[in-house]
Chains A and B, each alone.
Chain A
């Protein structure tokens, strides 16, 4: 599947640029267990994919990312903004940078953000699908495409005596 350039998605770009957006990376272990990690450092890469700093070299996340890269598995990123917009991005690890000038730039930022921190790796993710998960949008979509899926109490209008039901 071809990589998507996230620069074509202004809302996703805005969500990634907003430090208050909750950014969650989702992976699956070899035994099928889910693994989630909040990655506040997730940003858009120069090529329109994603990148993030992995502080903990020996973390489960780092190991699972490498496994995904080695064995061509998918990863997912969920973004939830403070105003309730949501996005689900799916793709694959594209590269991990552990040395050189690019690594150094990220290392210096990580150290200036928190002097207790070092840096294990910089991960790059190529995105293949983008889905909006904003609750209000999803609700409207379901209402339109599955009109029968609704609890009847929400449809009730009149009492048996003809008076209007108060809601």
Chain B
């Protein structure tokens, strides 16, 4: 399988994407997208990296789950299998319009390939990052001179657009730092990574096994922390753009140190959130923090001293034994049961519906210690998610993208059907327990198939 290569560091180079292929789609021979019928999907082409026989194809699943939106299913599958851009698709990138650079918590993407995609229904597909070779053939993005298409082999499946760049992106702070390096953007959200490393990686064997923080941070030579004054300048500039942002999001790696564990992490977020709150006259503003699970006292400070409105502490996997194995740092510092207790305590501060937890959905099937059957994994995950809902904490899932540089880089992804059923299950729980999806909806985060389903 050809994966997106690690981007080159030269910002001045011409469009760079080593894994380009010649276009298979031309206006003459393409399957046209007709909104008057369901997309034609074929999995008959035997190409290298075809699905294992036990896994149902996208086409089969659209028939099996007719009430599951095709676009959301496609998004999931693209994230499982990855995507490559044809030469034509890369030449259709206009860096003055499209987002090509992005600063994540551990590296800066600086090549001229698109950061990610959006479909005609407003669903985002995250394509950034370096997928490991899982044996599944990637999708292709191609350009026919008018439109960009997502293709599987020679079949066109959907029109796609590249994410557009916000106004502030190429501006510089008063100290000359490009603003995109301080605050990154999604179509409707600003993202800040105040601490761009994670202390769990400082101790051998403590980082989460799906995480690529250590591998990429070391090679990227980023500063571990970013300057507050520059963040505030950038946030101010970014928020000026009409209609662009609906939420400000902060996250970063764990900082264990402090008078009490995690106090230094808390102080970092407090400082930034207080600064941003001032921009909004000290009022609450649409915002989300994903942090390590803070204690009740720490969470109270976040709520009462800043304008933060929603809180997330990602438990990653809903099983004690697997949490201990996959997230050893979190397990040793806080522990599985205490993590859940802290989430529940946060509900008493932020209010019901304003606290959730995220899963790297699928890691529960990592071997050798994970569930052996998808059925068991699904049952266990949804039953544990139900218990969290009963405690006032709702649950969102991301598709586990098996990344180069993670401990799990040799693992195999779960089937597409597993994700379809999990997304349906989490969406059903959210509806049953009457949680609004607003904190993590399709246009703020856009990385959760279950909250994509919440749109109708």
The answer, yes or no, to whether B242 is at the interface (CB within 8 Å) is yes
The answer, yes or no, to whether A137 is at the interface (CB within 8 Å) is no
Complex Cα–Cα for A126 and B159 (A): 15
Chain A interface residue count, CB cutoff 8 Å, equals: 30
- CB 8 Å contact bits of B109-135 with A (1 = contact, 0 = none): 000000000101110000000000000
Contact of B456 among A70, A96, A118 (CB under 8 A): A70
Complex Cα–Cα for A118 and B71 (A): 27
Q: How far is the CB of A48 from chain B (nearest CB, A)?
A: 14
Check if B36 sits within 8 Å of A99, measured CB to CB.
no
The answer, yes or no, to whether A32 is at the interface (CB within 8 Å) is no
User: A3 — which chain B residues lie within 8 A by C-beta?
Assistant: 35
- CB 8 Å contact bits of A9-40 with B (1 = contact, 0 = none): 00000000000000000000000000000000
| Smallest CB gap from A104: residue in B | B243
User: B159 — which chain A residues lie within 8 A by C-beta?
Assistant: 95
Q: How far is the CB of B167 from chain A (nearest CB, A)?
A: 9
User: A7 — which chain B residues lie within 8 A by C-beta?
Assistant: none
Check if B97 sits within 8 Å of A69, measured CB to CB.
no
Contact of A99 among B38, B71, B188 (CB under 8 A): B188
User: A128 — which chain B residues lie within 8 A by C-beta?
Assistant: 36
Check if B443 sits within 8 Å of A99, measured CB to CB.
yes
User: B241 — which chain A residues lie within 8 A by C-beta?
Assistant: 104
User: A107 — which chain B residues lie within 8 A by C-beta?
Assistant: 242-243
Q: How far is the CB of B170 from chain A (nearest CB, A)?
A: 15
Check if B455 sits within 8 Å of A119, measured CB to CB.
no
Check if A101 sits within 8 Å of B244, measured CB to CB.
no
The answer, yes or no, to whether B221 is at the interface (CB within 8 Å) is no
Q: How far is the CB of A49 from chain B (nearest CB, A)?
A: 10
Beta-carbon contacts under 8 Å, B352-389 to A: none
Knowing A66-B455, A98-B188, A100-B187, the reply to whether A111 touches B35 (Cβ < 8 A) is no
The answer, yes or no, to whether B230 is at the interface (CB within 8 Å) is no
- CB 8 Å contact bits of B31-52 with A (1 = contact, 0 = none): 0000111100000000000000
The answer, yes or no, to whether A1 is at the interface (CB within 8 Å) is yes
Complex Cα–Cα for A139 and B244 (A): 50
Contact of A104 among B121, B242, B443 (CB under 8 A): B242
User: B443 — which chain A residues lie within 8 A by C-beta?
Assistant: 98-99
Knowing A104-B242, A111-B242, A128-B36, the reply to whether A98 touches B122 (Cβ < 8 A) is yes
Complex Cα–Cα for A98 and B188 (A): 8
User: A101 — which chain B residues lie within 8 A by C-beta?
Assistant: 97, 164
Q: How far is the CB of B64 from chain A (nearest CB, A)?
A: 15
Check if B121 sits within 8 Å of A69, measured CB to CB.
yes
Check if A72 sits within 8 Å of B71, measured CB to CB.
no
Beta-carbon contacts under 8 Å, B238-255 to A: 241-244
- CB 8 Å contact bits of A51-71 with B (1 = contact, 0 = none): 000000000000110110111
Beta-carbon contacts under 8 Å, A87-125 to B: 92-101, 103-104, 107-108, 111, 118-119, 121
The answer, yes or no, to whether B70 is at the interface (CB within 8 Å) is yes
Complex Cα–Cα for A107 and B246 (A): 13
Q: How far is the CB of B334 from chain A (nearest CB, A)?
A: 35
Beta-carbon contacts under 8 Å, B181-237 to A: 187-188
Check if B122 sits within 8 Å of A96, measured CB to CB.
yes
User: A97 — which chain B residues lie within 8 A by C-beta?
Assistant: 122
Contact of B187 among A63, A94, A99, A119 (CB under 8 A): A99
Complex Cα–Cα for A29 and B134 (A): 41
Contact of A96 among B69, B121, B163, B164 (CB under 8 A): B121
Complex Cα–Cα for A128 and B36 (A): 9
Q: How far is the CB of B34 from chain A (nearest CB, A)?
A: 8
Check if B243 sits within 8 Å of A103, measured CB to CB.
yes
User: A121 — which chain B residues lie within 8 A by C-beta?
Assistant: 122
Q: How far is the CB of A78 from chain B (nearest CB, A)?
A: 21
User: A63 — which chain B residues lie within 8 A by C-beta?
Assistant: 455-456
Check if B118 sits within 8 Å of A70, measured CB to CB.
no
Interface centre among A69, A98, A126 (most CB of B within 10 A): A98
Complex Cα–Cα for A107 and B188 (A): 13
Knowing A1-B36, A72-B38, A126-B35, the reply to whether A95 touches B243 (Cβ < 8 A) is no
Check if A69 sits within 8 Å of B120, measured CB to CB.
yes
| Smallest CB gap from A74: residue in B | B36
Check if B164 sits within 8 Å of A99, measured CB to CB.
yes
User: A96 — which chain B residues lie within 8 A by C-beta?
Assistant: 120-122
Complex Cα–Cα for A64 and B456 (A): 7
- CB 8 Å contact bits of B133-176 with A (1 = contact, 0 = none): 00000000000000000000000000101011000000000000
Q: Measuring CB to CB, which residues of chain A are less than 8 angstroms from any residue of chain B?
A: 1, 3, 63-64, 66-67, 69-72, 92-101, 103-104, 107-108, 111, 118-119, 121, 126, 128
7 CB < 8 A contacts A-B = A64-B456, A66-B121, A72-B38, A101-B164, A104-B241, A107-B242, A121-B122
The 8 closest A-B pairs by CB, nearest first: A107-B243, A99-B187, A100-B164, A70-B69, A95-B120, A98-B122, A104-B243, A67-B456
With A63-B456, A70-B69, A98-B187 known, 6 other A-B pairs at CB within 8 A are A93-B35, A94-B120, A97-B122, A99-B163, A100-B187, A101-B164
